[in-house]
């Protein structure tokens, strides 16, 4: 039986960006701030971003530091926008269109892996499969923490564009993620929380390969 089309392929870039940056949501702004530190905190020459979308935060890439930047996403429209907006990165930027659920074996290796608001939509098992293939030394994840689990998408005029995600959304838990990463061979080294409107927060947790 053929798999259903991943709902992330259906969400238009304009709806995604307008919702994420909307007053009272403000996730694009918070993620941008946090990604600056994700890119800057560690010694690495290659970075891979799972669920890169249109490239929010990539303006913080140090072109003298990073020789390779892999942008991974399932939505071709998002990657086309990324390529146009960050064309100045030249050959250092490589965009890869793939579904992490079924095509993670196509991933290259990278020293640093960033997965922001991504694990929620693929689950722990798929994330670990992709993690094992990319084989990074450092993993930096951002998950959304909700005090009201019934409303995991903040309200905006664009909220109904995300109705299709209900079937693939997984509620995240920091402690469970720590256990999953420990079993995958990674040790927790850092955690930072950024408050959002609507009783939500973004929790960034970093892990280092436990050699």
Convert the pLDDT of each residue in 134-191 to its tens digit: 999 999 999 988 765 455 455 566 565 666 676 776 777 889 999 999 999 999 999 9
119 half-sphere exposure, CB direction, 13 A CA radius:
29
Q: Full-prediction pTM beyond 0.75?
A: yes
Number of C-alpha atoms within 13 angstroms, CB side, residue 19?
17
Q: Please report the pLDDT score of residue 64 as a whole number.
A: 95
- So what's the pLDDT on residue 46? 98
Complete domains list, the chain, with CATH: 7-209 (3.40.50.150)
Q: What is the rounded CA–CA span in Å between residue 90 and residue 118?
A: 26
Backbone angles phi, psi at 100, to 5 degrees: -60, -20
40 has pLDDT over 50: yes
In DSSP terms, 201 is beta-bridged to 145, 195
pLDDT(8) > 60: yes
How crowded is residue 176: how many other Cβ atoms within 10 Å of its Cβ?
Answer: 11
- What count of other Cβ atoms lies within 10 Å of the Cβ of residue 57? 20
pLDDT confidence bin for 24, thresholds 50/70/90: low
Q: Do 187 and 210 meet the contact criterion of CB atoms below 8 Å apart?
A: yes
pLDDT (tens digit per residue) in 69-100: 999 999 999 999 999 999 999 999 999 999 99
Does 37 or 6 have the greater pLDDT score? 37
Instruction: Check pLDDT > 50 for residue 14.
Output: yes
pLDDT at 80: 97
């Amino acid at each position: 039986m053929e798999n259903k089309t991943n709902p992330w392929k259906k969400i238009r870039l304009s709806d995604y960006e307008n919702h994420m940056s909307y007053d009272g949501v403000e996730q694009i702004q918070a993620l941008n701030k946090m990604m600056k530190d994700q890119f800057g905190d560690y010694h690495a020459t290659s970075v891979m971003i799972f669920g890169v979308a249109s490239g929010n935060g990539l303006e913080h890439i140090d072109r003298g530091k990073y020789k390779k930047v892999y942008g991974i996403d399932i939505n071709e429209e998002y990657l086309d926008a990324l390529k146009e907006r960050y064309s100045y990165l030249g050959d250092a930027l490589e965009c890869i269109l793939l579904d992490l659920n079924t095509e993670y074996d196509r991933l290259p290796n990278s020293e640093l892996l960033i997965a922001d608001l991504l694990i929620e939509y693929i689950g722990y098992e798929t994330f670990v499969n992709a993690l094992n293939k990319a084989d990074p030394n450092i993993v930096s994840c951002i998950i959304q923490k909700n005090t009201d689990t019934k409303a995991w998408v903040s309200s905006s005029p664009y909220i109904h564009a995300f109705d299709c995600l209900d079937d693939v959304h997984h509620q995240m838990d920091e402690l469970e993620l720590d256990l999953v990463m420990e079993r995958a061979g990674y040790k927790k080294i850092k955690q930072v929380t950024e408050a959002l409107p609507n009783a939500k927060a973004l929790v960034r947790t970093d892990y280092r390969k436990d050699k």
